[in-house]
Amino acid sequence: MPKSAKVSSLINLIGVFALYFLFLAIFESGIFGAKTDYFKGIATTACYTIIMVTSLNLLVGIMGEFSLGHAGFMSVGAYASAVFTNAIANSGIPDFPMFLLALLVGGAAAALTGFLVGVPALKLRGDYLCIVTVAFAEIIRVCFTNFKITGGGRTMSGIAKLSDFYWVYWVTVVCVTLMFLLIRSRFGRTVRAIREDYIAAEASGVNVTFYKVATFTISAFFAGVAGAIYAHYMTAMIPTSFNFAYSAEFLTEVIIGGAGSMTGSIIGATFLSALPEAMRTFARYRMLAYSIVLVIVMIFRPGGIFGTWEFSLTRLLKKIFRVKGTAPGGKGADAAKAGKTGKGASV
């Protein structure tokens, strides 16, 4: 591993821990008093939204296809994990392993669905693919409405409350890091080539179908993980929550942050999931304002607020301290992803 990569990985690891301790200090000091749990809830919402939006960004920003059915995969993860934890509720497994198992089950179920949807759907491209993702998400929703085990159209409640904010924080860090490292590898490079020109990619020896289905499956996996967090945070849910409007919300968050920019997705998801709560008193006008902002962003910055720019903690520190050390070339710069890229360094 090049030295610059080691350094920036270490810096990011420190950054992630610093952010963690900041949250710890805020929530444990009790400065919000009785409202602490409320703010923890907002932070948890922000976390699973971040996973949703970054995983959708894999499809939109990296692969260049837009999906309007991402909430469908989320619901698969949510319901699968909820059914699973309900089934083993009395087995005496402690909460944390139970939580991790729930995430894996949710992710795996969504990944399997993503694979089954992706194989036929990815024969299509562009608008047609977009429509088919809507159709599949609606079919999934109808299934959960009719299945008895998922509440049969009524609220499925009594799901164990496992999504503790501190756990969810680390899950989010790991998920985003995994996606980021995958993008900055030969896998990501190949998928970006497919986005740019699939015919040329095929003519360069790339098995386009394989990479597309793989990307779709991976994206669905992380949506499923987010769904599992959602289920075990909400503890009650109804299939209609995972509707077209929810999918559309994720897509707009990807685009407004900047398709292809993980930074944009993270910041976009954080603000857009925290703002509704902050603006609760203006609830009536909130979505109105949001839609106007969306149109304005699309008119003046069609590439999204952050475009394809990525925030780098290493770069920022260098700027601040004017370190003249060796510039991180190639993969070194790649690994320098702020706040979220600790994992790579630890191995």
Instruction: Write out the binding residues for another protein, residues 245-284 only, by CB under 8 A.
Output: 245, 248, 251-252, 255-256, 259, 284
Q: Is 154 in the site for another protein (CB under 8 A)?
A: no
Distance CA 261, CA 337 (A): 11
Distance CA 301, CA 130 (A): 23
The residue with tokens 């924080």 is 169
Of residues 138 and 277, the one with the C-beta less far from another protein: 138
Asked if residue 48 lies in contact with residue 168, where contact means CB atoms within 8 angstroms, the answer is yes
For residue 293, the tally of other CB atoms under 10 A from its CB is 11
Of residues 189 and 319, the one with the C-beta less far from another protein: 189
Of residues 340 and 343, the one with the C-beta less far from another protein: 343
The only residue of 29, 90, 94, 199 in contact with another protein, by rule CB under 8 A: 199
Residues across the chain: 347
Of residues 49 and 85, the one with the C-beta less far from another protein: 49
Q: Is 285 in the site for another protein (CB under 8 A)?
A: yes
- Judged by CB under 8 A, the stretch of 97-105, 143-151, 154-162, 164-172 that binds another protein is 143-151
Of residues 85 and 252, the one with the C-beta less far from another protein: 252
Q: How far is the CB of 294 from another protein (least distance, A)?
A: 4
Site for another protein in 286-305 (CB under 8 A): 287-288, 290-292, 294-295, 298-299, 302
- Judged by CB under 8 A, the stretch of 48-56, 176-184, 224-232, 261-269 that binds another protein is 176-184
What does the H/E/C string look like for 313-338? HHHHHHHHHCCCCCCCCCHHHHHCCC
Q: Is 121 in the site for another protein (CB under 8 A)?
A: yes
Q: How far is the CB of 17 from another protein (least distance, A)?
A: 19
Site for another protein in 318-337 (CB under 8 A): 330-331, 335
Distance CA 103, CA 178 (A): 15
The only residue of 45, 55, 75, 190 in contact with another protein, by rule CB under 8 A: 190
Helix, strand, coil shares of the chain as percentages rounded to 5? Answer: 75, 0, 25
Q: Is 171 in the site for another protein (CB under 8 A)?
A: no
Q: Is 123 in the site for another protein (CB under 8 A)?
A: yes
Asked if residue 331 lies in contact with residue 5, where contact means CB atoms within 8 angstroms, the answer is yes
Residue 75 belongs to what H/E stretch? helix 70-87
Burial class (CB in 10 A: 0-12, 13-18, 19+), 156: buried
Distance CA 64, CA 213 (A): 13
Q: Is 120 in the site for another protein (CB under 8 A)?
A: yes
Site for another protein in 64-103 (CB under 8 A): 66
